[in-house]
Structure 1
Amino acid sequence: MRKKRFTLFSFVTAFILLLGGCFSGETESKPDSSDGEKSGEEQSDGKKVLNLNNNEEPGSLHPGTAQGTHDSWVLEHAFEGLTKKTPEGEIVPGMAKDWEVSDDGITWTFNLREDVKWSNDDPVTAHDFEYAWKYALNPDTAAEYAYQLYYLEGGEEYNSSENKDEYAELEEKVGVKALDDHTLEVKLAEATPYFLDLTSFYTYYPVNKKVQEENPEWALEADTYVSNGAFKLTEWKHKESMKLEKNENYYDKDKINLDEVNFVMIDNADTAWQMYQADELDLVYPLPPDVTGELSSKDDPEFELAPDFTVYYYNLNNDVKPFNNVKVRKALSMAIDRKAIVEHVQQGGQQPAYGIIPPGIPDVEGDFQENSGELFKEDVEEAKKLLKEGLAEEGMDEMPEFKLTYNTDEGHKKNAEAVQEMWRKNLGINVTLENVEFQVKLDREKAGDYEISRGGWQGDYVDPMTFVDLWVTGGSFNDANWSNEEYDKNVKIAKTSMDPKERMEAMHKAEEILMDEMPIIPVYFYTMPFTVKPHVKGVFTPINRYPQFIYADIEK
């Protein structure tokens, strides 16, 4: 859907000057398009080619070790799971032609299509799924997303083991088994209402067992890459570009219109936008915030404002003083003017976040986020009071200087500058901004090597659990290093109960505890503003995915 937003340049400029921050975007020389052709046009050889931008080099294109949207946008088109999602968001058969589930919701039996193949012509089998899931759970793999497989019987026990001598025994007990080449039996630890949704998520994709065993580094280069989706990776110039081509082995290839998809890797949104204007790109996401504001105010026909399923927040490293103090954490949160950020900095119809679960998830009745309401308030005077008290409790007279780390993106930069000025103006504290590559940021968060960092989470499936389980004690993505027994207890209840009312109540309680302790600072709930050329048809935007081009077409 499109949404109009009224934006006056003079008003925005005045707001920026009021904040005192410098919001001007960096500019770079515009790189040439990789093939010298105009975007979206049929090439002289008749090929239909789509050109777009992935703003970071993928950290991993192996389904078992991928962890970010810079990985998943490619994976979602190169691979396919047991199920997939339609443009309407419906879960439909993918590699599996159908499935059965036991009355107690524990045992699932997936029947694979008999005509599915890998890009190297090997058959896709149930053994590839069993192998891939157990590979991600293997402690030696160190997969950040292994916890998404804890829904399998024995999954958590295997992944959590520190005794190599028992790995083989624990692996055998994991609840996934290929009964034959075309039948996969899955046993869950507990009945899970959203399990079918999970089977379309990339951690649940298969891996070619033979290829993995012969070459453990197959996913690092295009010439060894093997996938089972609508497209195959045929070129990878690291930190520069990637090329996907239509996979002729894909069972549904007759519905795939594009012959080729070219990704350039440009981490500057202004540069990507310039390339789009020069017809070198067909689709651009993300857009520079000022461009979003301008296009939305004009109701530009190439501008799309899709719903998103993502929360923008800041991690506070709870292991570092004074962020270990809840009063200091609350003070920092209460001193941020979220409305100003979404209306005058981002300008894309975002919604200020006073919780961590975005709109769009059904509750027992109504919408979960609407039922939660605002779980905290902004209050500068109370923030000053709490900051003083918190620092005194830590034996500090004043707030030490600290760094706010964000990954390269014009929108993240402007957010950080706005928050930096709000904290200076409202609390009298000095913050240094640090810009790093996305993968560097992720690595440092995992190592605890930061003070405050920009965070964002796009839900993996449509249930509040995809957000609340992030901050359980010892969680793979609990980069704030926070722990609360009552929080963990409620998350456990929500994971194991089949009573919808009990589940939702437990997750509401968990979110309330999180916001009362404030180990992370929510800022806003995303929208997905992007531009796409008129000759590109069939791009769709599931609530928890980047724009999908699997069924896209190029029209003259």
Structure 2
Amino acid sequence: MKKGIALLASLALGFGLLAGCGAPGQTSSEQPSASTEKGTEPMVLHWSINSEPSSLDPGVATDADSFDMIYACFEGLTNYDTNGQLVNAQAESFENSPDFTQFTFKLRKDLKWSNGDPLTAHDFEYAIKRNLDPKTASGYAYQLYYLKGGEEYNTGKGKAEDVGVKALDDYTIQFDLKAPTPFFRELTFFPTLFPLHQKTIEANPQWAAEAKTIVGNGPFIMDSWEHKNKIVFVKNPNYWDKDHVKLDRIEITMIDDNNTAFSMFENGDLDWGGYPASTLPPDAIQALKDQDRLMVADNPGTQSVVFNTEKPPFNNKKIRQAFAYAINRQEIIDNILQTGVPAAYGWVPVSMGLNPDGYFKEDQEKAKQLLAEGMKELGLSKFPTVTYTYDTTEVNRKMAEALQDQWRKTLGVTVNLETAETKVYQERRSQGNFDMIRFQWGADFNDPINFLEMFRDKDGGNNHPNWENPQFKQLIDQSYHETDLDKRKDILKQAETILMDEMPLAPINFRGNPYVKNDKVKDFIIFPLGGAYFKYAYITE
């Protein structure tokens, strides 16, 4: 366990009893007085994010900053408590069929939208079908493919009425799944399965772009949104569990320069420095270690270099392998990241248990040989200049420079570096407008399939290499229907073996995100799978 973090429990895929009821509880022994009492000052948390959120629409957003804002003002059937345990949230209870092909949730009776409208099971059904509608263009629609008819509707081969989600009444939502899915309850925590206020969406297609038009159901309401500058949240008086919300306001400043953000933290203008608010400057990490102030969020995730497999020279497997084998991962970890994270020789985090030993190792001589063979196959006498694109942080810049130097020394190739602010970077990545690009993936739920199924289809929402392999796809589909856990693990290991042989992306390191905080901030949650949650946070005197 890393200092200051509640880690994930072991992967829970057993086929025992899985039913629950009850609400998340406040587990802290310190109970702050309510700031709304007469004569007390409002309790305000000062936070930062790196960039303008792309959208506050739970069905459309794909970036971390947007998700952190969404979790402040929306909530799903489940959530996490202060111990990092998954608990019921909008749902008061649930049950599942013995074969995990049907989950039924009972909603709380007192649920309301932030505008006071009643929230019902129909809002969940509407949201899920809306997110599967091809017109919505949800990047995470594939997470709803576990539902019967979900993939068919999203790909234009089926109808909305055939999707396996149904409001049985105002307080009961039922999910019918195409195959056993023991981890489905974890998925209900993800924004793609959050309810949406239908009248708001139908009245204004741009509803998620301005504070005044966002109608949510979470612990906070967005009070103001000064684009590219500042977001302010206030406590939601219509939230079902408002008595456990301590903060009166969250003031979030957008700061794209991490040195500036860290200076503001050191000066007391921000209550948090580093993940998940920003990225700590590499030059500050050793000093924070020496002062015993550094903490590391050990959430499952993997950082990588993605290759564009649809254009030369990275349409050649051997060239992709050459670039992957030429990376000196430990040098990057020791000199740039400085957090002691493991080097990654596979895509699925070791904690998920597919292959702790990895699938390849660095090999400079092999890399040179593969490059020569790949160039011959492509008919190249001279390797073309290629570009590596990364999003703007000092850590990413230093990593890009290290990769550039390693590829030059080992392979003798010229790699240009291109940096882009977050929104442009994300657009280039999603549109395939790159040669190589930085990509970090954090778990959405605690199962290896979450790291593998994104590569099932070339046009999948997060398949940035635009890579597809028939055998890989067959194995992913087979895993959906395998109920024997050992056999399922073996199937997924075979799939990852293909992925790491084809190398559409080169893993570099498993995730470990450093941060520091104001000691007065209590019960702030970094989700076990990554991301910020403000509900229980408070500030002591």
TM-score, with structure 2 as normaliser = 0.90
Counterpart CA distance in 1 for 2:527 and 2:427 is 28
Deviation at 1:518, TM superposition (A): 0.8
Does the CA contact (< 8 Å) of 2:82 and 2:536 recur in 1?
A: no
Which residue does the alignment assign to 1:418?
Answer: 402
Alignment equivalent of 1:448, drawn from 432, 449, 453 = 432
Does the CA contact (< 8 Å) of 1:127 and 1:209 recur in 2?
A: no
Counterpart CA distance in 1 for 2:490 and 2:321 is 24
Q: Which moved more, 1:306-315 or 1:83-92?
A: 83-92
Q: Do structure 1's residue 273 and structure 2's residue 262 form an aligned pair? A: yes
Does the CA contact (< 8 Å) of 2:72 and 2:220 recur in 1?
A: yes
Q: Do structure 1's residue 383 and structure 2's residue 376 form an aligned pair? A: no
Which residue does the alignment assign to 2:443?
Answer: 459
**Residue correspondence of structure 1 range 4-19 to structure 2 within 5 A:** none
Q: Which moved more, 1:523-532 or 1:487-496?
A: 487-496
**Residue correspondence of structure 1 range 97-112 to structure 2 within 5 A:** 97-112=92-107
Q: Do structure 1's residue 130 and structure 2's residue 115 form an aligned pair? A: no
Which residue does the alignment assign to 1:173?
Answer: 162
Q: Do structure 1's residue 485 and structure 2's residue 463 form an aligned pair? A: no
Which residue does the alignment assign to 1:318?
Answer: 309
Counterpart CA distance in 2 for 1:135 and 1:3 is 41
Alignment equivalent of 1:66, drawn from 61, 81, 104 = 61
Deviation at 1:90, TM superposition (A): 1.9
Counterpart CA distance in 1 for 2:464 and 2:302 is 15
Counterpart CA distance in 2 for 1:247 and 1:85 is 19
Counterpart CA distance in 1 for 2:178 and 2:325 is 40
Deviation at 1:3, TM superposition (A): 6.6
Q: Do structure 1's residue 494 and structure 2's residue 483 form an aligned pair? A: no
Counterpart CA distance in 2 for 1:254 and 1:530 is 29
Deviation at 1:308, TM superposition (A): 1.5
One-letter amino acid of the structure 1 residue matched with residue 68 of structure 2: W
Q: 1:340-396 CA distances to partner (integer Å, 9 max, x unpaired)?
A: 0011111112211000111332xxxxxx05x43121010111111111111111010
Q: Do structure 1's residue 331 and structure 2's residue 326 form an aligned pair? A: no
Counterpart CA distance in 2 for 1:179 and 1:123 is 17
One-letter amino acid of the structure 2 residue matched with residue 298 of structure 1: Q
**Residue correspondence of structure 1 range 121-520 to structure 2 within 5 A:** 121-161=116-156, 170-285=159-274, 286-300=279-293, 303-361=294-352, 368=353, 371-474=355-458, 475-520=460-505
Q: What secondary structure sits across from 1:319 in the alignment?
A: coil
Which residue does the alignment assign to 1:26?
Answer: none
Q: 1:372 to 1:359 in 2, by over 3 A?
A: closer
Deviation at 1:124, TM superposition (A): 1.0
Counterpart CA distance in 1 for 2:78 and 2:178 is 21
Deviation at 1:122, TM superposition (A): 0.7
Q: 1:124-162 CA distances to partner (integer Å, 9 max, x unpaired)?
A: 111110010011000111111111111111110000007
Deviation at 1:2, TM superposition (A): 4.9
Count residues in correspondence.
504
Deviation at 1:263, TM superposition (A): 1.1
Deviation at 1:105, TM superposition (A): 2.0
Does the CA contact (< 8 Å) of 1:107 and 1:188 recur in 2?
A: yes
Counterpart CA distance in 2 for 1:2 and 1:100 is 33
Counterpart CA distance in 2 for 1:393 and 1:293 is 46
Does the CA contact (< 8 Å) of 2:2 and 2:298 recur in 1?
A: no
In structure 1, stretches of 5+ residues that fail to align are 5-41, 362-367
Q: 1:450-506 CA distances to partner (integer Å, 9 max, x unpaired)?
A: 110000101100000110112112222111011111111111122221111111111
Q: What secondary structure sits across from 2:512 in the alignment?
A: strand
Deviation at 1:294, TM superposition (A): 2.3
Counterpart CA distance in 2 for 1:515 and 1:445 is 20
RMSD of the alignment, in Å?
1.7
Q: Which moved more, 1:256-265 or 1:434-443?
A: 434-443
One-letter amino acid of the structure 1 residue matched with residue 356 of structure 2: S
Q: 1:409-428 CA distances to partner (integer Å, 9 max, x unpaired)?
A: 11111110110111111111
Q: What secondary structure sits across from 1:144 in the alignment?
A: coil
One-letter amino acid of the structure 2 residue matched with residue 447 of structure 1: Q
One-letter amino acid of the structure 1 residue matched with residue 129 of structure 2: K
**Percent of aligned pairs with the same residue?**
41
Q: Do structure 1's residue 530 and structure 2's residue 515 form an aligned pair? A: yes
Counterpart CA distance in 2 for 1:295 and 1:501 is 43
Deviation at 1:266, TM superposition (A): 1.0
Does the CA contact (< 8 Å) of 1:132 and 1:205 recur in 2?
A: yes
Counterpart CA distance in 2 for 1:510 and 1:297 is 42
Counterpart CA distance in 2 for 1:56 and 1:441 is 12
Alignment equivalent of 1:116, drawn from 89, 111, 123 = 111
Counterpart CA distance in 1 for 2:91 and 2:531 is 24
Deviation at 1:257, TM superposition (A): 0.7
Counterpart CA distance in 2 for 1:299 and 1:532 is 12
Does the CA contact (< 8 Å) of 1:193 and 1:498 recur in 2?
A: no
Counterpart CA distance in 2 for 1:121 and 1:262 is 24
Does the CA contact (< 8 Å) of 1:293 and 1:346 recur in 2?
A: no
Does the CA contact (< 8 Å) of 1:293 and 1:348 recur in 2?
A: no
Q: 1:18-67 CA distances to partner (integer Å, 9 max, x unpaired)?
A: xxxxxxxxxxxxxxxxxxxxxxxx89961110011111111111011011
Q: 1:501-549 CA distances to partner (integer Å, 9 max, x unpaired)?
A: 1111111111111111111010001112111101111122232122432
In structure 2, stretches of 5+ residues that fail to align are 5-34
